[in-house]
A and B are shown apart, each in its own frame.
Chain A
C-alpha cells in the first residue's frame, strides 16, 4: 500500500516534468499561430492589406476595429527587407514580430523620426555586407539588425472617420515591403 502511494507520488512528480515540457513545447507545435495566420492574406515579402476588423470576421485575433491594418511576412534568408510607407494625417504604428508571434521592435508615427515608415531589416552578416556598399539614403533609414530570419511586419493606421477610410486604405496598399539584392 505504502509502496503504491510512493509510486503515485512519483507519478505526480513525473507529471510535473511533463507539464513543464508540454507548456514549453506548445509554441513549436501550434498550427494556428500568428505566423501561420498571417500567410493567408497574400504572398510573402509584400504588404497585404487586411480586411476590415468586424465582429465575427476578425482577420486576426485582438486587432482593433478602429484601425486599418497591413501585414508583410518575410524571410531574411534571401536578403534584407526594406519597408516604406507614408500614411497621412492619422495615428499609425508599426511592429515587427518574430516567428513565434512576439513583438520584437515597434514604434509609432511620433517616434518614427520623420513621420513615415522607412526601415531596413537585416541579419548581422547582411549588415556587414551592407556596410561595404551602403544605400544612398541610409541616413534616413531605421536599421534593425535581427536574429529572427522569419518575421512579419504589421502596420496599423487609425481611421478617424468613414470618409478618411479610403485614403488610409490606399496609403496602406501603397506601403512597400521589398527584398533587397546585395
Chain B
C-alpha cells in the first residue's frame, strides 16, 4: 500500500530502508560500525531526481529579476520615447502641452524634454499647438493637400510650420518652410484659409515635403492663453483633407 502512495513520507521511509540495507549489505565496505542511515543518504535518494529547494529559489529569483528588468526598463524606454503622455489639452485637431518644458511638468514629460533637448516656449513667450491628424481622424500625409480653415486664438503673432513626427522641419521644394500671421490673406470676418501642399498654391500656402507622416505646428506668440485664461472655449483652425496623389 505504501509503495503505491506517491506522498513523500513513504518514499522517504523506503529510501531509509535502502540506505540501511546498503549499510548492512554483507561483504560491503564498512566505514566503521557507526555508519548508520544518515539524513544525508536519505536526502540524496529522495531528492536527486528533482531540483533542490534552493535551486528552485535561484531559478525563480532569476526569472523575476529578468522580468523586472525587461518590463521596467522596456516600459520606461517606450514611455519616454513615444513622447508626451500626460498634461495634454486638446482643441479640435490641435494639442498643446501647457506644462511641458516647465518645472511643473510630469516626470515622463521632463524625461522627454531632457532626452530630445527640445527648446519649449516659455509662458511669457507663447504657446505651441501640434496636429498630426485631420478632422476625420486620419494621419496627415505628405502626399495629400490639406486646408486649414478658421481662426487662431488671440495673439500678437503666429507661425505655422510642418515637421516630421520627431519635430524636425520638412525639406521643401519652395524656398520657405514657414507661414506667419503677417503674410496671411483673410476674409472679411477675419477667418483664413491656408493650403498645406507640396506644390505651389495661390493664396495662403504652406509648403511641405518628404514622404513621412507630418505634424503641423502652430506657434502662437504673446497670447493671453498662457496666463491661465480658459483654454476650453478657444477656436482653432479646422484641418480638412483635400486631394491626394
Check: B23 CB closer than 8 A to any chain A CB. no
Contact status A101-B117, CB under 8 Å: yes
Q: Are A95 and B121 in contact (CB under 8 A)?
A: yes
List the one stretch of B5-13, B174-182, B186-194, B237-245 in contact with chain A: B174-182
- Which residue in chain B gives the minimum CB-CB distance to A7? B60
A142 to B156, CA, bound (A): 22
* Shortest distance between the CB of B78 and any CB in chain A (Å): 10
Report how far A33 CA is from B113 CA in the complex, Å: 8
Q: Pick from B25-33, B44-52, B123-131 the stretch touching chain A.
A: B123-131
Closest to A37 in B: B117
The answer to whether residues A8 and B64 also contact, given A22-B72, A32-B115, A108-B222 and a CB cut-off of 8 A, is yes
In the complex formed, the residue of B with least CB distance to A29 is B114
Q: Nearest Cβ distance between residue A58 and chain B, in whole angstroms?
A: 6
Contacts of A100 in B (CB 8 A): 110, 113-114
Task: Count chain B residues whose beta carbon lies closer than 8 angstroms to a beta carbon of A.
Answer: 61
B112 to chain A, nearest CB (A): 8
Tell me whether A134 is interfacial, beta carbon within 8 Å.
no
Main secondary structure of the interface of A (DSSP, over half): mixed
Known: A18-B69, A93-B221. A102 touches B171 (CB 8 A): no
Q: Which residues in B have their C-beta under 8 angstroms from that of A106? A: 121-125
**A101 and B113: CB pair below 8 A?**
yes
Report the 5 A-B pairs with minimum CB-CB distance, sorted nearest first.
A106-B122, A18-B72, A15-B71, A11-B67, A11-B64
The docked-state distance in angstroms from the alpha carbon of A95 to that of B122 is: 6
What's the Cα separation between A125 and B105 when bound, in Å?
Answer: 28
Residue among A7, A13, A30, A65 with most chain B CB within 10 A:
A7
Of A114-122, A154-162, A167-175, the segment with at least 4 beta carbons within 8 Å of chain B is A154-162
Q: Which residues of B contact A95 (CB under 8 A)?
A: 121-122, 124-125
Q: Which chain A positions have C-beta within 8 A of B117?
A: 30, 32-34, 36-37, 60-61, 101
Residues of B within 8 A of A7 (CB): 60-61, 63-64
Residues of B close to A17: CB separation below 8 A: 68, 72
24 pairs, A vs B, C-beta closer than 8 Å:
A4-B63, A7-B60, A8-B67, A11-B63, A12-B67, A18-B72, A18-B73, A22-B73, A26-B76, A32-B115, A34-B119, A55-B209, A62-B118, A62-B120, A62-B167, A65-B159, A66-B161, A91-B157, A95-B124, A96-B122, A101-B113, A102-B103, A106-B125, A110-B156
Q: What's the minimum C-beta distance from A24 to chain B, rounded to whole angstroms?
A: 5
A156 contact set on B, CB distance < 8 A: 125
Q: From B61, which residue of chain A is reached at the shortest CB distance?
A: A7
Q: A8-B64, A19-B76, A54-B177 are in contact. List 7 more A-B contacts (CB 8 A).
A: A15-B75, A30-B114, A32-B117, A65-B159, A94-B124, A101-B114, A108-B156
Is there contact, CB below 8 Å, between A14 and B65? yes
Bound state CA distance, A67 and B69, in angstroms? 44
Q: A8, A102, A107: which contacts B102 (Cβ < 8 A)?
A: A102
Interface residues of B in 118-172 (CB under 8 A from A): 118-126, 128, 156-157, 159, 161, 167-172
Of the candidates A15, A21, A26, the one whose C-beta lies within 8 Å of that of B115 is A26
Minimum CB distance partner of A28 in chain B: B114
A98 on interface, CB distance cutoff 8 Å: yes
Which B216-243 residues have C-beta < 8 A from chain A?
A: 219, 221-222
Counting chain A CB atoms within 10 Å of each CB, the highest count among B65, B114, B171, B180 belongs to B114
Within the complex, the shortest CB–CB distance from B204 to chain A, in Å, comes to 15
C-alpha spacing A62/B182, complex, angstroms: 21
* Cβ contact within 8 Å between A11 and B159: no
Nearest CB of chain B from residue A31's CB, rounded to whole Å: 10
> B43 at the A/B interface (Cβ < 8 Å)?
no
Q: Does A133 contact B (CB under 8 A)?
A: no
